[in-house]
A and B are shown apart, each in its own frame.
Chain A
Amino acid sequence: MQSPYDLMVILLVLLNFRLLGASQLGACVNTVAVQALLIGLLALLTPGVSWNWMTLMVVFVTLIKAVVLPALVRRAMRETGVVQEIEPFVGYTFSILIGTGMLVLSFLAVRPLQVPLDGAAQVLVPVTLFTMLTGLFLIVARRKAITQVLGFLTMENSIYLFGVAFAIQESWLVQTGVLLDVFAAVFVMGIMIHHINREFDNIDTDRLSNLRD
């Protein structure tokens, strides 16, 4: 195992903790962008990847995930003027503690799985799971709609990482389709955040609780 590779995996774990512990939304957006960038680099560094049009695809996907999607989220931030997550449902210190628990759980959970492809996959699978849990946690434990979108993006990053871990060569058509969907999802969410802000004068999703039985 090469050391830059290990270093990047450790960085991915640390980035998740930063997501769990940061209250400034700008910092969170940057973290998600860096995460996408790292995963793209990992994809290029994976042994056995030859320089062909698949490489171009990786570069393209990474650009969208690391530049375009964060830009969309930043636009929503500018429009709503929200810069900070105040009073999350779960406090930051406790979030990081939970994060530690999720990390341990991720390593325990993948132990029984027989990983058919050797190499990078062995270390990356628990990290994938951890990233996914982090995304889910952000969606349920934070109040602002923007943070929920960031949680969604983190989940998408984890799926991308899984694809990288197993060097899954999806056809370009499907990759483009998935990317288009994620892009459209963030775009539509951005529009909705705009409307939520206009309707409620803030984007706290706990205000969205009129509909119940």
Chain B
Amino acid sequence: MLEKAACFDEMLGDDGTRAPYALVDAWLKSLPRDQLELKRREAEGLFRRIGITFAVYTEGGDPERLIPFDLIPRVLAQAEWQRLKLGLEQRVKALNAFIHDVYHGREILRAGRVPERLVLHNSQFRPEMAGFDLPGHIYSHIAGIDMVRTGPDQYYVLEDNCRTPSGVSYMVENREVMLRLFPDLFRRAAVAPVAHYPDELLETLRSVPPPNCRGEPTVVLLTPGIHNSAYYEHAFLADEMGIELVEGEDLLVQGDVCYMRTTRGLARVDVIYRRIDDEYIDPLVFHPNSMLGVPGLYFAYRAGNVNLANAIGAGIADDKAVYIHVPEMIRFYLGEEPLLSNVPTYDCRLPDDLKYVLAHLDELVVKAVHGSGGYGMLVGPHATQGQLAEFRALLKARPYDYIAQPTLSLSTVPTFVEQGIAPRHVDLRPFVLSGGDRIRIVPGGLTRVALREGSLVVNSSQGGGTKDTWVLEG
């Protein structure tokens, strides 16, 4: 069971305010409480006006909701960040090498380091990608790596998001709002900037032109449209990069070349940052009835006339059972020891693991292998008897769909809640950009915070909020 006292508070530490938080601590102490409430409302107004909303499709309520924003920043020292950064680069390099390998020679499977069936019988394995060489051998150009912290030096990777990770617009806009609300604070702190993320993203996308591209590649962002929960982010990124935000109907494939319809006629498109799922990309190959995609896009892709970021089939590395093997991938492809730790994970398809999980269900977190957004998840220590019984039945019926992990005592950061300032659990999603030339990481990431007391679920669809994430310079 998780004891509140047992978790690491990133500001208070074990013996007094930790150095990176000295300024934030002093600032909080000097700030009148009603001032904080006033600023909180101002921030909310700013988010509404800018239109940074997140569509949540549940019964009733406002379909365009704000993700609660907490004013108190989460702070990492430069040295802490440097360690994370090296680990992230290493991990994403190995993930890309792994995805390339499973669609080519499958060396890691032959070597018996990752179970063959886990990959070849995985619903995220896309045979459509077999034997296809991608520019720079990059599949996950944009990866979001979810991390948690349990102590001053203990970080764990919770999961890898290699398909279409979202949330980076919050990283940039949270900082923007903080700068507007508290300019003085930033004058006193040396915080590494994050506003150049869109430039770095564009550089990354331009570094992977398709083989048949001549000259400067034309990059577009493909969105499912305004009803998508992350539409604001799509518009924000396209705008910041100065590229067209297109929907499926704006694109046309002719002679296996992809074009966009413009007022001047058809214009060739070279790189598509797509924010639609694999299955909707091309109705001639995937869902025949998809209206979101572009007929023939897959063939233009395979013909080397257009590149997609992220690649089709990158989801094979997202799978929570594949996750177990990432440290092994790092050793196999890079010949290095992993710098970032995995959370010890029980693979329910293994009989011994399953037995253990069933016996200790009330201590563990159980996750659906293909789930995301905190759905299909059981937090044992917080679950009711009914929920435990339900998951016990699910695990017995479909063990290969689940993994389980011990409940970690996630670190906390002071958070402004109704009762005042109180510790709340946080995670961190840094965004790693892999281009044909190099890896780029903007210092920081998205900090998500579980606003309910004691809660460990930080997902925005489950009532989580966000914070500005500071990496201190020097």
Q: Do A and B bind each other?
A: no
